[in-house]
Amino acid sequence: MRPRIPDNPLAIVRNLGILAHVDAGKTTVTERMLYLAGATYKRGEVHDGTTVTDFDPMERDRGITIFAAAVSCAWDGHRVNLIDTPGHVDFSDEVERSLRVLDGAIAVFDAVAGVEPQSESVWRLADRYGVPRIAFVNKLDRAGADLDTAVESIRRRLHKAPLVVQLPIGQEDRFTGVVDLVRMRALVWADGVCSAGPVPEDLLAQARRRRRLLEESVAELHAGALEEFCARPSMSDETLAGALRDLTLSGAGLVVLCGSAYRDRGIEPLLDAVVAYLPSPLDVPPVRGEDGAERAADPRAPLAALAFKVNATATGRLTFVRVYSGTMRKGDTVLVTGLVTGLDTGAGRTERVSRILRVQADRHTEVDLAVAGDIVAVVGLKSARLGTTLCAPGAPLVLEPPSTAEPVVSVAVEARRSTDADRLASGLARLAEEDPSLAVRTDAETGQTLLSGMGELHLEVAVDKLRREHVMDVSVGRPQVAHRETVVRGVSGLLYRHVKQDGGAGQFAHVVLDVEPLDGGDFEFASTVVGGRVPREYVRAVEAGCRDALADGPLGGHPVTGLRVTLTDGATHPKDSSDLAFRTAGRLGLREALRASAMQLLEPVVEVTVTVPGDAAGGVLGDLAARRGRISGSSARGGTVVITAVVPLAEVFGYATRLRSRTQGRGTFTTRPAGYAPAR
């Protein structure tokens, strides 16, 4: 007898992520939320290596989040599923995979630094997936912390309508609590205990003024609130809270809270805001398949779930899935569609769900079923990969998988002992299976095995994981960047004839190509052939051949980008023309056209933000210039200088050590990808 579906309305479920720049305090925020919700019995600390979500030894050694970790807790009668995401730019793909399956997010900002480079990057990712957010300005206890300055940086760089719903009580080391502007009460923390009371007399006038400004801002954005704002002297608390929720769900407004997670101040109202403002699975649009079919968040609907994370261990595979609709039970047979190994996108394989696990970071609790809105791990799926869809066999569906960025840095990896060569290959394959932003290939010229990723730290972590989990001694070469080639000046009317006759059916294809630079894109193909001289199916084959030719350019065998190819003419043979012949003509014809064009080598560049003491700024500027950096901005902040520059990625390798030596260990820097630029 199958277990009965529990009476658990989706309205009380919140699936959210914690997003931030590295060191903004999001892991500490997560730990305090778990502790206050009763999910843990003691406060975890990043510096002590005792956090729940940063459980991997590599994360505890480095003091940063590397892998997205899922945890759950209960607050005010609601079930909150949390994913703590990485903040370092090298792991932005891990953030994107998490955002793909989340309904809402908390964006954490440093009260001193405000919006930082990776804050902006993860914000744009959330914009791409339409994830509603609230903001939490953390570290108000730090010297130089200023809520208004941080909010202004949010307004200037991220969102035009931040709605501040709290007023700090005290500044820096005297920060003790907040005034709740929605309910007009003071929340004060002492020894980790929150107590509510009336607004202090010395803050009452300021609190009333800020409450009025909040009402005005909400009325400008919300029609229902505007009606009450015009009709009454003051907006009711219920109307204001309801309008804030509506504006959060639509993205028209951004609720901003503040506090200090490390000092246990401001977390309870943050949890209240999660429940009050962020969406449940019922509040988000139905999930849509690639064929346009929709599935609503209903446990009685056909199953639809997306695999967003895979842990391939020696003892088995854990597939983390978000269930969008339907119910998945232990022992059920599901259809795995999408990016299944060896199958087309629309094809699939049936698999049996042997176990379903409720995940609490590195601890798992077995459950009998998972319903719409759940985030769980499934054991027993052999063909499922990151981005595949799990659906009911009688109602197939393919959900859009998370996108994967192109790797930009490569290192050569080899086993020190020849007997470990096979183990190295299987270990690298497992790494790439867990993290699609890692790529493994063999260099055709040198025979070396190359591991490619998003940055130095990304590759360092991957190799460290290889050594720890596979107990393997490997040697690693110097990092190499992934260059590209582009067209500076193209050619017109290049004629290529592909004729092959070696017995039996021959091959004949005649194409005329124009090649020109393309601004703001990777590749475009067009056809201006008239009169049916090249049939439509052969035009598609020519395009496929041209895309094949982009894999290696004439300058150094690097991928080619930034060009437009136009098929202007061609000819066919009644018997010998075929898709294969025209695809070959497209590939070889474009290669010949590229050799005749003026080409340019491109190298990846990054935007570097360096924060240094004022007396060291001159030396740092000179060093960036020596690294072929282009300075794009410089501003003073207290006793420090913040320098922004665009620098070739190859010149950033080893920069941390150089910066520390120039600033006596007082300088810090962050990077984020800035595309490609001509190599100099």
Binding region for GTP = 20-27, 84-88, 138-141
HSE (side-chain half, CA atoms, 13 Å) at 66: 20
The first and second tokens of residue 150, run together, are 């941080």
On whether the CB atoms of residues 81 and 13 are closer than 8 A, the answer is yes
In angstroms and rounded to an integer, the radius of gyration of the C-alpha atoms of the chain is: 28
Rounded CA gap, 327 and 372, in Å? 6
DSSP 521-534: -SEEEEE---TTSS
For the beta carbon of residue 195, count every other beta carbon within 10 angstroms: 10
- Interior CA angle at 480 toward 474 and 485, to 5°? 145
Q: Which residues are annotated as a binding site?
A: 20-27, 84-88, 138-141
Rounded CA gap, 428 and 448, in Å? 13
Report how far Cα 476 is from the mean position of its chain's Cα atoms: 27
DSSP code of residue 1: -
Rounded CA gap, 601 and 678, in Å? 6
Is residue 328 helix, strand or coil?
strand
* Backbone CA torsion sign across 205, 210, 211, 215: positive
Rounded CA gap, 196 and 206, in Å? 18
In 3D, which of 346, 349, 366 has the Cα closest to residue 357? 366
Is residue 135 helix, strand or coil?
strand
Which alpha helices (H) appear in 307-455, and where do they start and end?
A: 421-434
- Interior CA angle at 382 toward 378 and 385, to 5°? 75
Q: Per DSSP, which regions of 572-613 are E strands?
A: 598-613
On the 0-12 / 13-18 / 19+ scale of CB atoms within 10 A, 282 is middle
Rounded CA gap, 320 and 377, in Å? 4
Is residue 62 helix, strand or coil?
helix
On whether the CB atoms of residues 573 and 508 are closer than 8 A, the answer is yes
Q: Which three-class secondary structure string do you get for 248-310?
A: HHHCCCEEEEECECCCCECHHHHHHHHHHHCCCHHHCCCEEECCCCEECCCCCCCCEEEEEEE
On whether the CB atoms of residues 334 and 391 are closer than 8 A, the answer is yes
Long-range contacts of 430-436 (CB under 8 A, 24+ apart): 430/312, 431/462, 431/465, 431/466, 433/310, 433/312, 433/385, 433/386, 434/309, 434/310, 434/311, 434/312, 434/386, 435/93, 435/94, 435/462, 436/93, 436/386, 436/387, 436/404
Rounded CA gap, 378 and 382, in Å? 11
The first and second tokens of residue 144, run together, are 């130089």
In 3D, which of 432, 454, 420 has the Cα closest to residue 312? 432
Rounded CA gap, 384 and 392, in Å? 14
Rounded CA gap, 255 and 244, in Å? 7
